[in-house]
């Protein structure tokens, strides 16, 4: 099982799609049936031996440090890494404080997911001036200091993002190129942003054409270089087609294999469901990690969807909270359908390249539920 360990709710950035949106959306409630505890402790309040005992019950326990910004609680993180023995440690971070963690800890991460949205101007536009430079300098430093694990660029994308241009930039720039990239749409998280945004036009004129071009480019790279780049949305979908995977469940793992542990020790289906009392699934002090209740998407809009078996429902949080109207959310589902079609259209070429030995089926393997949601 995978568990996000939420070390703190505090963050040292004020990103447009997170802090900025929360300012515009502050009066939005979730509806009567979802009561949210807004008084959770900012930092971990349970005992680390409780986490150790919990994790020990599952030989495949993977712990991913998460926040807010988890490195604001570096001392707690060190304590956990000293006292708990999971199969892997991972971290999802904004990268600003990576230089403060000693290599003896950094180098033990199986995977580091770092938030970066593309080139400097775009990253700083979304995440604040100077963010890009500090993050890139820190990534160079951790590589110099011996970090050999997977480093995933985690992009949040919305209307200011040209997905094709920015993914190419992350892959190709001379200063620090990533071989693993995941992107996630800022869509369906907030209650009243759809009306003031230009989401539909952007998806039709920029995002979807960009995804199609990236799918073609991705397979061109296989053909030219024999390399299967870890562009996660494309990789995860192609891997499912290649292995004839039927009936995918929520592909981020939220609610069934990838849970989150709140700062107070309560276990929730995914970190974004922070404080939603109705979905508390047990406490780290007493729960069995292998017997947690599973939560699946409710009927609308997914159960009758023709691509549920490959999409998996996209996001449990948005399915439960339904913050965008059905009409608005259908624009998100359009992007999912187009993404799936873009990969499907390339499958004959991919299968031919595997038959010819240019690439191998194993090149599509990845650690599932590693924090990349696959369906953006």
Burial of 67 (0-12, 13-18, 19+ CB in 10 A): buried
List the interface residues with ligand SF4, window 268-297 (CB under 6 A).
270, 272
308 binds ligand SF4 (CB under 6 A): yes
Contacts of 294 (CB under 8 A, 6+ apart): 255, 256
Which two tokens mark 173?
A: 């720039």
How far apart are CB 82 and ligand SF4 at their closest, in Å?
28
Contact by Cβ (8 Å): 115, 93: yes
**Residues forming a β-bridge with 76:** none
Of 139 and 267, which has the nearer Cβ to ligand SF4? 267
Cα 368 from Cα 374, distance rounded (Å): 9
Of 182 and 314, which has the nearer Cβ to ligand SF4? 314
Buried b (16+ CB within 10 A) or exposed e, 263-292: bbbbbbbbbbbbbbeebbbbbbeebebeeb
317 binds ligand SF4 (CB under 6 A): yes
236 binds ligand SF4 (CB under 6 A): no
5 binds ligand SF4 (CB under 6 A): no
Of 55 and 311, which has the nearer Cβ to ligand SF4? 311
Q: Which one of residues 11, 74, 305, 367 is an interface residue with ligand SF4 (CB under 6 A)? A: 305
Contacts of 97 (CB under 8 A, 6+ apart): 12, 69, 71, 72, 74, 138
Cis amide leading into 68 (omega within 30): yes
118 binds ligand SF4 (CB under 6 A): no
Helix (H, G, I), strand (E, B) or coil at 16: helix
21 binds ligand SF4 (CB under 6 A): no
Cα 126 from Cα 160, distance rounded (Å): 9
Tokens 């680390």, residue located: 48
302 binds ligand SF4 (CB under 6 A): yes
How far apart are CB 297 and ligand SF4 at their closest, in Å?
7
Give the Cβ contact number of residue 103 at 10 Å: 13
343 binds ligand SF4 (CB under 6 A): no
Q: Which one of residues 13, 18, 333, 367 is an interface residue with ligand SF4 (CB under 6 A)? A: 333
Of 215 and 316, which has the nearer Cβ to ligand SF4? 316
Contact by Cβ (8 Å): 255, 270: yes
315 binds ligand SF4 (CB under 6 A): yes
Which two tokens mark 152?
A: 């995933």
How far apart are CB 321 and ligand SF4 at their closest, in Å?
10
Contacts of 330 (CB under 8 A, 6+ apart): 301
Number of amino acids touching ligand SF4 (CB under 6 A): 18
Of 25 and 351, which has the nearer Cβ to ligand SF4? 25
Q: Which stretch binds ligand SF4 (CB under 6 A): 5-13, 28-36, 99-107, 303-311?
A: 303-311
Of 118 and 301, which has the nearer Cβ to ligand SF4? 301
Which residues of the chain form contacts with ligand SF4 (CB under 6 A)? 252, 254, 270, 272, 301-302, 305, 307-308, 311, 313-317, 333, 336, 373
């Amino acid at each position: 099982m995978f568990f996000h360990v939420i070390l703190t709710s505090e963050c040292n950035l004020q990103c447009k799609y997170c802090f900025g949106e929360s300012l515009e959306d502050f009066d939005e409630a979730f509806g009567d049936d979802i009561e949210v505890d807004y008084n959770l402790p900012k930092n971990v309040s349970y005992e680390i031996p409780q986490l150790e005992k919990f994790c020990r019950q599952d030989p495949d326990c993977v712990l991913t440090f998460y926040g807010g910004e988890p490195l604001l609680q570096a001392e707690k993180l060190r304590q956990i890494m000293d006292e708990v023995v999971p199969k892997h440690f991972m971290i999802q971070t904004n990268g600003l404080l990576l230089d403060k963690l000693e290599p003896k800890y950094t180098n033990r991460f199986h995977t580091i997911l770092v938030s970066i949205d593309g080139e400097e101007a775009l990253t700083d536009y979304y995440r604040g001036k100077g963010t890009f430079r500090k993050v890139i300098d820190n990534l160079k430093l951790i590589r110099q200091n011996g970090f050999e694990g997977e480093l995933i660029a985690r992009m949040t994308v919305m209307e200011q993002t040209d997905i094709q241009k920015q993914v190419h930039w992350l892959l190709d720039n001379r200063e620090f190129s990533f071989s693993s990239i995941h992107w996630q749409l800022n869509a369906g998280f907030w209650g009243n942003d759809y009306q003031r945004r230009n989401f539909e036009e952007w998806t039709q004129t920029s995002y979807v054409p960009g995804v199609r071009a990236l799918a073609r480019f991705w397979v061109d790279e296989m053909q030219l270089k024999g390399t299967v780049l870890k562009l996660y949305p494309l990789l995860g979908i192609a891997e499912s087609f290649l292995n004839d995977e039927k009936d995918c469940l929520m592909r981020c793992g939220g609610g069934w294999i990838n849970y989150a542990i709140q700062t107070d020790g309560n276990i929730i289906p995914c970190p974004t469901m922070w404080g939603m009392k109705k979905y508390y699934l047990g406490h780290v002090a007493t729960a069995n990690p292998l017997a947690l209740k599973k939560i699946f998407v409710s009927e609308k809009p997914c159960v009758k969807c023709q691509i549920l078996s490959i999409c998996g429902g996209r996001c449990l949080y948005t399915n439960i909270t339904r913050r965008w109207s059905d009409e608005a959310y259908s624009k998100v589902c359009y992007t999912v359908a187009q993404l799936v079609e873009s990969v499907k259209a390339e499958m004959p070429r991919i299968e031919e390249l595997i038959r010819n030995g240019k690439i191998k089926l194993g090149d599509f393997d990845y650690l599932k539920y590693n924090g990349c949601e696959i369906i953006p």
